[in-house]
Amino acid sequence: MVLRRRHGANGCRGRLPASKDANQDDALNSLLSDKRDTYDLDSLMYVMFDDKTPTYVRSLPQEVMDLRSQEYEKYFLGSQSLDQTINAMVARHDNFLKQKK
């Protein structure tokens, strides 16, 4: 599989391989094209290929994520305070847990 990207801010076009086993130099050449000299290649290589920072995978059910989002939205739209938001999330989460027993 190949990820395609449109013209970037630097005007270059590129196709990025989605496989972690793809040739790194080929991927960079495709990404950067003739704009290589405008990038810190060591940093870019680290971020793209060498950074082993663990990724976060949430294990919460989608229902819990949805109820949180609904309460966040109310807070950000100004229809409830932070305390109301937290209390509502706790109450809804507790209710969710009771239903799953």
Question: pLDDT tens across 68-97, in order?
Answer: 999 999 999 999 999 999 999 999 999 999
User: In angstroms, what CA-CA distances link 64 with 32, 47, 53?
Assistant: 41, 32, 26
**Cα 22 from chain centre:** 22
* DSSP H or E stretch at residue 30: helix 24-32
pLDDT on residue 15: 66
Rounded CA separation 81/50 (Å): 42
Amino acid (1-letter code) at residue 61: P
Q: What is the mean pLDDT of residues 22-32?
A: 81
Specify the 3-state DSSP secondary structure of 72.
helix
pTM of the complete model: 0.46
Specify the 3-state DSSP secondary structure of 53.
coil
Q: What is the pLDDT of residues 36-59, one digit of tens each?
A: 888 888 888 888 778 788 777 778
